[in-house]
């Protein structure tokens, strides 16, 4: 059992920045990767970014956020961050963190999910 808690969402103007955090607790020994996904109203849940928890910390990014978002890890705190810069209205969504045994962009590769945090970007 793994528990994930996201924080840092809010309301910002286009061009602004937010930093999301996700802290894991419980039995995290099987966590190989941590990722961020987002879901807008009426849309499917989409991949945003992921990072390997061990080793070199290899990262993956969706094309839509590459160059604007940065994923990072703090292993001592069991925390993953998503720094979001140059935000656009199309980034508005509920953002979820997840952990699983594979470094993948597929949501089916993740076993545990947080409750989500709302990000709203105004025009």
Distance between CA atoms of residues 84 and 19, nearest Å: 6
Strand runs (DSSP E) across the chain, as ranges? 2-7, 10-13, 18-26, 33-39, 46-52, 59-61, 69-74, 79-84, 93-100, 112-113, 117-122
Please name which of 55, 104, 62, 102 lies closest in space to residue 82, comparing C-alpha atoms: 62
What are the tokens at 104? 């993948």
Average pLDDT in the 91-116 region? 95
**In the predicted structure, residue 114 carries a pLDDT above the cut 80:** yes
Beta bridge pairs of residue 8:
none
The sign of the dihedral angle between the CA atoms of 74, 61, 59, 40 is positive
Predicted pLDDT of residue 19: 98
**Mind listing the pLDDT tens digit for each residue in 30-43?**
789 999 999 999 99
What 3-state class would DSSP assign to 64? Answer: coil
**In the predicted structure, residue 74 carries a pLDDT above the cut 90:** yes
């Amino acid at each position: 059992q793994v528990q994930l808690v996201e924080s840092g969402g809010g309301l910002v103007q286009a061009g602004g920045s937010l930093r999301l955090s996700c802290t894991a607790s419980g039995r995290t020994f099987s966590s190989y990767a941590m990722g961020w996904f987002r879901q807008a109203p009426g849309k499917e849940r989409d991949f945003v970014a992921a990072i390997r928890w061990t080793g070199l910390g290899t990262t993956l990014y969706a094309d839509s956020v590459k160059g604007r978002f940065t994923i990072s890890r703090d292993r001592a705190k069991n925390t993953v961050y998503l720094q979001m810069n140059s935000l656009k209205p199309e980034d508005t969504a509920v953002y979820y963190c997840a952990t699983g045994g594979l470094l993948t962009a597929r949501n089916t590769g993740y076993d545990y999910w947080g409750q989500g945090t709302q990000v709203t970007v105004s025009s």
